[in-house]
Amino acid sequence: MDEVILVDDHSHDHTSELATQLGIEHVIRHEKNLGYGGNQKTCYNAALKLNADIVIMLHPDYQYTPRLITAMASVIADGVYLTVIGSRILGRGALKGGMPRYKYAANRMLTFVQNLLLRQKLSEYHTGFRAYHSSVLKAIDYNSNSDDFIFDNEVIAQIFHKGFEIAEITCPTKYFEEASSINLKRSMVYGFGVLNVSLRYFLHHAGLLKWNRLK
């Protein structure tokens, strides 16, 4: 049985009310804004409490098509991989969908460095479309991660640390004025945070620095 969980991170646009009107059964509203990572923690904790087998996170900004949910879930349900991400970079979806060229360039540069430090070969680490088998979420301590945007990269580092592999599926994307996006200042903070996560992972695995996120 499929379940939809919507977490309203203390927005001011009547999200929770509209979700209830649409018949979404599991609507959670935060009394204060907990941040990007804090919001996901609530989502995953609620999903695991419902004994979900497969948990799919999809950014609610219409940048990613929900039509790939079934395909991503099937990869996990068939036991091929336990984690799947929707990649904007595989193929030509990112630029074709309107991703600004400076963001595309930053994505490629960060991903290149991350692959070197994590010794992996993902096409991108920054997608807002991810699917997990529940055993993966139970194996990592995601609740100890940042409440900010760097949360996603900490999760990927934890997944690789536990020895799981990550599959990628080509995902078309759309960029438009109403879609959510962080500004240049926040993007720079995020970029340095990504490098910090990757470096800490590298040093931890090299035995030079213990990182408490990797347990």
Mind listing the pLDDT tens digit for each residue in 171-208?
Answer: 998 887 666 566 778 889 999 999 999 999 999 999 99
Angstrom distance (rounded) from CA 215 to CA 199: 16
| Predicted pLDDT of residue 181 | 63
Sequence spans of domains, the chain = 52-205
Question: Does the structural domain 52-205 have CATH classification 3.40.50.1100?
Answer: no
| Predicted pLDDT of residue 155 | 98
pTM of whole model > 0.85? yes
| Predicted pLDDT of residue 190 | 94
Helices (H) and strands (E) in the chain, counts: 8, 6
| Predicted pLDDT of residue 14 | 86
| Predicted pLDDT of residue 31 | 93
Angstrom distance (rounded) from CA 109 to CA 161: 22
| Predicted pLDDT of residue 171 | 93
Angstrom distance (rounded) from CA 187 to CA 164: 28
Residue from 165, 156, 169, 152 nearest 65 by CA: 169
The 3-state DSSP class for residue 10 equals coil
Question: Cα 163 to chain center, whole Å?
Answer: 18
Question: What residues does 132 pair with on adjacent strands?
Answer: 55, 83
Q: What is the pLDDT along the chain (215 residues), one digit of tens a residue?
A: 799 999 999 998 888 999 999 999 999 999 999 999 999 999 999 999 999 999 999 988 888 999 999 999 999 999 999 999 999 999 877 888 888 888 899 999 999 999 999 999 999 999 999 999 999 999 999 999 999 999 999 999 999 999 999 999 999 988 876 665 667 788 899 999 999 999 999 999 999 999 999 98
Angstrom distance (rounded) from CA 92 to CA 170: 9
